[in-house]
Structure 1
């Protein structure tokens, strides 16, 4: 156990120290505000305050963890060796910046509470973020800082036993369109047929007819392939099903279709299942509740995990809605148009609500990349995408973090603009499943 002295134990202090020491470094900590208790302690200890008490391991504190609410924060970048950092505190500190305030700023998405320009879908865009602007979006910076801190602690306290966490991999699949053509209504089928005819998409017309008459397998029916890889490599896999009402952004087949319900029930038997709240739930708690109850009615089990469709969420409102509905895990923390670590960590963390200054029960699982980002936004080929996936995976493995990619059942179809992409998912699973 490491004892932490600070002049004031705030909810922010307790939250971020627990994340860095307990969740990343697996080190037990305790806090004290009593100088005499700190001085008398014989084990490893750290002071986090304005001025060192003596010659102890001292990290000078900035102001952020002792404030309340959201204020304009001046961020000036520096370097810790070759690693970017900010909130510099000078040479008297054992490390040159306030690692805890900087980590809190990034992991709480503090900047997303400040005024910013949203994209066309009402989302906070990567380009607005400090991580993108300063070039560290593709690095789990908080975890990197934590491991550099660990190295410094080992030099100062060599006799202390430091455990090492294990790398984890979670495959996640968003089911926006369970099937390309099958089980869709007659109106949508006829409408799609004439649209293809107008655009002279002859092969699409044939595929639509062939699938409807069971001559061909539906191209988006890739579930057996996904489950086969899950079984072969013994990996945790989660399917997020979109079951909202039809709209221009929510185009799945009707949740009421018997075959769709059977598909969801099958996935429950072989993997984990989560809710994929539809496009308009971002500002509609009633609609979110309705969709959660729908999925629970199909699975006959409480729905505890979720990922927003289009990654469309707004802090803190969307997360507050999920908490009110007793959803315990969210997998939306990432960007649609860039790969990388939106919260600058590859460690699942509990959402800290800056409105109420509390750690909530909602656990956030940040993902590192999305298939549509690689293909449609970054315009990478399958080969280039595998290279980018390898880069991000190696960043996670270096800090024994949790690697979470986001794929769709569609991207394994080798169909239309997903030609050649089936091997991308398979190759990624093989790389990521290696411990």
Structure 2
């Protein structure tokens, strides 16, 4: 156990110290504001305050962890050796930056509480973020800083016992459209035929007919392939099912369809299942509650995991809704347009609500890469995409973090805009799975 002296123990300080020491570095810590207790402690210890008490292991504190509310924060990016960092701590400090305040700023998404311009879907965009503009979006800098700090800590306290965490991988699958053509009802099927005919999509007309007539397997029905890969490579896999009512943005088949319900039940037998709240649930508690109950009625078990459709979430409102509905894990933390680490970490963390200044029970699992980002936004080939995935995985592996990917069942289909992508998921699993 490492004892930390500080002049004031705040919820912010307790939260970020616990994240870096306990969850990232696996080091137990305790806090004190009493100098006599700090002096009397014979084990490893450090002070986090404005001036050192003596010659102890000291880190000069920034004001951020002792404030309340959201204010304009002056940030000047500098380099800690080759890694970007901010909040310099001065010559007397054991490390050149206050990584605790800097980590708190990034992991709480402090900047997303400040005024910003939303995109057409109401989302905070990557190009407004500090990480994007300073070129460290594709590095989990909070974990990198923590490990640099650990190396200095080991020099100061070589006798202290240190544990080493293990690299983990989680594959997440969003099911926006369980099937391309099957089980879509008479009106949607006729509408699809007419639309394909109007746009002269002859192959689509034939495929739609062949699937509906039972001559051909639905191209988006790739679930058996995903489950087989999960078993073969022992991959931790989570499916997020979109079961909201039909809208322009929510085009899955009806949750009232027995075949769809059976598919969800089948997946529960082989993998974890979570909710994929529909497009308009971002600030709509009643709608999200309705969809959660709908999925629970299908699975016959409490739903504890969630990822927002279109990655549409507002901080802190959407997360507050999830907490009220007793969702325990959220997997929405990432950008649609860019790969990388939205919260600058590859370690799952508890959401800190800056409105109420508390650590909440909602655990956030940040993903690093999504298939539609690579294909639709970045316009990469499958081979190029595999290279980018490998690079991101290597960043996570260096700090023994948790690498999370987001794929759709559609992208394994090798169909329409996913032509040529059918083998990428399997190839990726062989690279990223431990």
Category of TM-score, reference length = shorter chain: over 0.9
Q: Partners of 2:104 and 2:197 in 1: how far apart?
A: 54
Query: Shift in Å at residue 418 of structure 1?
Result: 0.5
Give the equivalent residue in structure 2 for 1:27: 27
Query: Shift in Å at residue 428 of structure 1?
Result: 0.9
Query: Shift in Å at residue 205 of structure 1?
Result: 0.4
1:315 and 2:315 matched? yes
SS of 2:72 mapped into structure 1: coil
Query: Shift in Å at residue 194 of structure 1?
Result: 1.0
Give the equivalent residue in structure 1 for 2:48: 48
1:395 and 2:395 matched? yes
Query: Shift in Å at residue 385 of structure 1?
Result: 0.1
Residues 219-368 of structure 1 aligned to structure 2 (within 5 Å): 219-368=219-368
1:146 and 2:146 matched? yes
Q: Partners of 2:55 and 2:322 in 1: how far apart?
A: 46
Gaps of 5+ in 2: none
Q: Partners of 2:85 and 2:433 in 1: how far apart?
A: 31
1:13 and 2:13 matched? yes
* TM-score scaled by length of structure 2: 0.99
Q: Partners of 1:248 and 1:141 in 2: how far apart?
A: 38
Q: Partners of 1:295 and 1:83 in 2: how far apart?
A: 44
Give the equivalent residue in structure 2 for 1:217: 217
Residues 46-195 of structure 1 aligned to structure 2 (within 5 Å): 46-195=46-195
Give the equivalent residue in structure 1 for 2:422: 422
* TM-score scaled by length of structure 1: 0.99
Deviations 1:183-222 (A, max 9, x none): 0011111111111111111000000000000100000000
SS of 1:379 mapped into structure 2: coil
SS of 2:92 mapped into structure 1: coil
Query: Shift in Å at residue 18 of structure 1?
Result: 0.2
Q: Partners of 1:333 and 1:183 in 2: how far apart?
A: 32
SS of 2:52 mapped into structure 1: coil
Q: Partners of 2:225 and 2:274 in 1: how far apart?
A: 19
Count of residues in Structure 1 that have an aligned counterpart in Structure 2: 434
Q: Partners of 2:224 and 2:397 in 1: how far apart?
A: 28
Query: Shift in Å at residue 413 of structure 1?
Result: 0.1
1:370 and 2:336 matched? no
Query: Shift in Å at residue 39 of structure 1?
Result: 1.1
Query: Shift in Å at residue 422 of structure 1?
Result: 1.8
Q: Partners of 2:2 and 2:294 in 1: how far apart?
A: 47
SS of 1:195 mapped into structure 2: helix
Query: Shift in Å at residue 159 of structure 1?
Result: 1.3
Query: Shift in Å at residue 141 of structure 1?
Result: 0.5
Gaps of 5+ in 1: none
Q: Partners of 1:364 and 1:411 in 2: how far apart?
A: 25
Q: Deviation above 4 Å: which 4+ runs of structure 1?
A: none
SS of 2:166 mapped into structure 1: coil
TM-align CA RMSD: 0.5
